[in-house]
Amino acid sequence: QVQLVESGGGLVQTGGSLRLSCAASGRTFSSYAMGWFRQAPGKEREFVAAISWSGRNTRYANSVKGRFTISRDSAGNTVTLQMNSLKPADTAYYYCAAQNAVAGTVPFEYRYWGQGTQVIVSS
């Protein structure tokens, strides 16, 4: 059974940092691109960051560029999103996703999804 499990969410003040992790199991994800998406209440799910299977290529939403960093471990089964200089606008549920293709920015491109972890940034 394929599982993606996110962790690391929580409550943080504006300007603070959080580190989200996504642990993949049930198959080898070393050949899969991984992505992070987020969804705030009443809004559509939006792209945050993605990383290629090799880890050499990354993509970021303009809204998080320079503040967030996506990375993956050498085995390819754990993906991390380091979030710095957090803003209230970053408040959302954050979802990890995987796909056996390029590091895309569109949710429907991704086959596997985690259950999400909540991030709340207080002002």
Per-residue model confidence as pLDDT tens digits over 27-57: 878 889 999 999 999 999 999 999 999 999 9
Structure tokens at 10: 């929580």
- Separation of alpha carbons 73 and 85, rounded Å: 23
The yes-or-no verdict on residue 1 having pLDDT over 80 is: no
How much of the chain exceeds pLDDT 90, in percent? 85
Average pLDDT of span 56-71: 97
CB-CB contact of 18 with 86 (8 Å): yes
Give residue 117's pLDDT. Answer: 98
Q: Is 30 exposed, middle or buried, given 0-12, 13-18 or 19+ CB atoms closer than 10 A?
A: middle
